[in-house]
Structure 1
Amino acid sequence: MSSDSVRTDPVATDPEYGETWVYESIVGAIPGVDLSDRSAVTVQFVLFEGLVLAFAALYDLWAAVPAGTAAVVVAAAGSYVMLALGAQIRQVEVPDTYRRLLFSSSIEVVLGVLGFVAFLTYVFAVDPHGGSPPLFRALFREVPPIPVIYLALLILWDLCYRIGTGWWASVTGLWRTYRFGGEFEEATRSRLLRIDLLTIGFALVQLLLVPFVWPREVLVLALLGHVVAVSVVSGTSVVWLRRG
């Protein structure tokens, strides 16, 4: 089988290493833990939201709860999308080259790190000199306690990682359609179309974060630009798939 051939044996059992996102590999490697996708996302949401509410009660930071909850919701939605995309892609007849590029390269981690570092650069180097109150001060009204900072940065990394995953799924999806679109049967194109629409859907969910970074133009433009870019890239793949 050549590297560009289309796999005709979609994975029906547990995925092997190299057939998963880094997130899935970590969850699957935890000894004694065997959660369904829905359970894994539910545990993630309950854990992070529980910590948000607990810290709000402990440090009287209730004003930060809406922003924290929105971030937890978007991160949980990202986890669901990652699991759904991974499962659907492993069950459809697609080229091995596409699978390896999507899963084995771990580029989504690199994109997540770049996004997280860019955000921290903005928070520490740009935001304090802007016309609006610094983001953390606007959310917490004062310098937050260390546990709150730790949780906030952890949730922000979670968001950046999943946003990076959405970007990588979008870019590789367009390349897949451009490179192999003419080889797919109708049923395969329909399933890949749903995968691209799911990628766009997750990007749109991230608009929930816009009200909490308003009116900081850099963050607003970054979020809106990201959503528009993913929608255009994956939308182009959708158009090509529909044209056959």
Structure 2
Amino acid sequence: MKGSEPYGETWVYESIVGAIPGLHLSNLQAIAIQLAIFQTGIVVLALVYGLWDAVLPGTVAVLVAAVGSGVMRQFGRRTRELDLPEPYRRLLFGSSIEVVLGILAFVALVTHLFIFDPRVSNQTLLTGLFGPNPPVPAVFLTLLILWDLCYRIGTSWWGAVVAFWRSWRYSFNPETASRLRRLDALNVGFGLMQLVMVPFLLDRPVLLVAVGGHVVAVTVVSLAAMATLRIR
């Protein structure tokens, strides 16, 4: 990402990274920095507050978010390399709907954590991880990581929906259609990768259904997009 793509031709995440003056990061560099910052925070908080039970689920969440970052950058770069209809590119990147979907998912998650979960469980997800008096820095870092996850999930869902619309609306030459199918498969792969979070949600049925339902929805819609791609 070198900041050379025109406005409206990138994900919001890419635009933020590319807009930092003097910072030109490769995919691996950006992911490495993301991993280092979040994982260092997790380990430091575990040392300070003795929150070792939270290290494994926190690490898994950070890894999923980091993979999501890599998928987004790969998806964006490979899409911009193709000669695609302008309405599709504008809808995919320029609308910023992935941010809206991420915000909705995050607000729903926060509502679940702080309102719904305490009403139905004697031990909420947060108290299960951090004890009866969760340290403020640990909750702050947790919400930051969860926002990162929700944004990647929103992007994955939006990519699947727009891909299905693209396949219904347009036809492509064989080479472009093949490359678009690979992009859709990349999105499916990221969705399936999110299943690594399932073991930590087995006692949280609402979150379990939410994550599983999202993965199923992205997979079904993306496969439908791949199957209905028309060749001209």
Q: For this structure pair, what is the TM-score category when the shorter chain's length is used for normalisation?
A: over 0.9
Q: CA deviation at 1:202?
A: 0.7
The root-mean-square deviation of aligned C-alpha atoms, in Å, is 1.6
- Find the counterpart in structure 1 of residue 193 from structure 2: 205
Q: Which piece of structure 1 moves more, 65-74 or 130-139?
A: 130-139
- Find the counterpart in structure 1 of residue 40 from structure 2: 50
- Find the counterpart in structure 1 of residue 15 from structure 2: 25
SS at match of 2:98: helix
Q: CA deviation at 1:47?
A: 1.1
Q: Which piece of structure 1 moves more, 110-119 or 45-54?
A: 45-54
Question: Matched residues, percent identical?
Answer: 52
* Residue in structure 1 matching 2:74, options 72, 84, 91: 84
Q: CA deviation at 1:216?
A: 1.1
Q: CA deviation at 1:131?
A: 4.0
* Residue in structure 1 matching 2:155, options 158, 165, 172: 165
- Find the counterpart in structure 2 of residue 109 from structure 1: 99
- Find the counterpart in structure 1 of residue 85 from structure 2: 95
- Find the counterpart in structure 2 of residue 191 from structure 1: 179
Q: CA deviation at 1:242?
A: 8.0
Q: Normalising to structure 2: TM-score of the pair?
A: 0.96
Q: CA deviation at 1:133?
A: 2.0
Alignment of structure 1 residues 56-71 onto 2, 5 Å: 56-71=46-61
The CA distance in 2 between the partners of 1:131 and 1:144, in whole Å, is 16
Structure 1 unpaired stretches of 5+:
1-11
Q: Indicate how the Cα distance of structure 1 residues 130 and 13 shifts in structure 2: closer, same or farther if over 3 A, else same.
A: closer
Amino acid at match of 2:222: S
The CA distance in 2 between the partners of 1:95 and 1:29, in whole Å, is 26
Q: CA deviation at 1:214?
A: 1.8
The CA distance in 2 between the partners of 1:105 and 1:62, in whole Å, is 41
Contact 1:135 1:213 in 2 (8 A): no
- Find the counterpart in structure 1 of residue 169 from structure 2: 179
Amino acid at match of 1:194: R
- Find the counterpart in structure 1 of residue 119 from structure 2: 129
Superposed CA deviations along residues 163-210 of structure 1, whole A, max 9, x for unmatched, are 000000000011001110xx3011001100000000111111111111
Superposed CA deviations along residues 78-102 of structure 1, whole A, max 9, x for unmatched, are 1001000000100012111000001
Amino acid at match of 2:86: D
The CA distance in 2 between the partners of 1:214 and 1:242, in whole Å, is 40
Structure 2 unpaired stretches of 5+:
none
Contact 1:132 1:216 in 2 (8 A): no
Superposed CA deviations along residues 39-92 of structure 1, whole A, max 9, x for unmatched, are 111111111111111111111101100110010000001100100000010001
Contact 2:164 2:221 in 1 (8 A): yes
Q: CA deviation at 1:142?
A: 2.7
The CA distance in 2 between the partners of 1:90 and 1:148, in whole Å, is 38
Contact 2:167 2:230 in 1 (8 A): no
Amino acid at match of 1:175: W
Q: Normalising to structure 1: TM-score of the pair?
A: 0.91
The CA distance in 1 between the partners of 2:174 and 2:89, in whole Å, is 20
